[in-house]
Amino acid sequence: MRVIAGSARRLLLKTPEGMDTRPTTDRIKETLFNMIHQDVIQCRFLDCFSGSGGIGIEALSRGASRAVFIEKSPRAAACIRENLRTTRLEDRARVLNCDVLAGLRRLEGQEAFDIIFMDPPYNCLWERQVLTYLQNSALAGEDTLIIAEASLETDFSYAESIGFSVAREKEYKTNKHVFLHRK
């Protein structure tokens, strides 16, 4: 896995050993950032269920002003910190080693993020839990773009009932990105 573009372009990123994380492939990451490249510059980026930190690091490399990573696994959080040192982006990053809902609570009181990305374990309903939390949170403002990476089977039909609209879905062979906004 590598950084695709920006200040850390071509640098290799480490991934945690084992099957606990599922890094986004370079091809899918490149497609995602081609779709959001204009929104990333100078944005505040939140990477939930960060794994190795590849998505948030890509955002920093492409010009995000700040990124916060929330990752429960101590081994994965250590990997994120190492990848941030390797890419020399640690001065614009913060890593929270905790459950995602606890991390969101710890961030309350700060300004809204411009982009919130989540890549939770598939088919565990974490997307709904995070969106339910964000419906009443100042972390997601009217202009915040929320992106969920999910299995193809994941249903987002509930989103409207909790205050979000699905702006777009991009399907790949095995998963999809769902782009949401507050209504």
CATH number, domain containing residue 157: 3.40.50.150
Do you know the residue count of the chain? 183
Say if 97 falls within a structural domain: yes
User: Do the beta carbons of residue 119 and residue 149 sit within 8 Å?
Assistant: yes
* Residue 16's pLDDT band (cuts 50, 70, 90): confident
Average pLDDT, the chain: 91
- The DSSP-derived string for 124-179 is SSHHHHHHHHHTT-TTEEEEEEEEEEEETT---TTGGGGTEEEEEEEE-SSEEEEE
pLDDT at 29: 86
Q: Measure the CA–CA gap between 149 and 176, rounded to whole angstroms.
A: 6
pLDDT beyond 80 at 118: yes
pLDDT beyond 60 at 139: yes
Say if 154 falls within a structural domain: yes
Say if 7 falls within a structural domain: no
pLDDT beyond 90 at 69: yes
Say if 99 falls within a structural domain: yes
What percent of the chain has pLDDT above 70? Answer: 92
User: Do the beta carbons of residue 137 and residue 106 sit within 8 Å?
Assistant: no
Say if 49 falls within a structural domain: yes
Both tokens of 145, joined, read 């773009």
pLDDT beyond 60 at 96: yes
Enclosing domain of residue 96: 26-182
* Residue 15's pLDDT band (cuts 50, 70, 90): confident
Counted domains in the chain: 1
pLDDT beyond 60 at 18: no
> pLDDT (tens digit, 9 = 90+) per residue, 155-174?
999 999 999 999 999 999 99
pLDDT beyond 70 at 40: yes
pLDDT at 7: 74
pLDDT at 48: 98
> pLDDT (tens digit, 9 = 90+) per residue, 141-158?
999 999 999 999 999 999
Q: Measure the CA–CA gap between 37 and 29, rounded to whole angstroms.
A: 11
pLDDT at 27: 84
Q: Is 74 exposed, middle or buried (0-12, 13-18, 19+ CB in 10 A)?
A: exposed
Say if 107 falls within a structural domain: yes
pLDDT beyond 60 at 20: no
pLDDT beyond 90 at 3: no
Say if 14 falls within a structural domain: no
Say if 15 falls within a structural domain: no
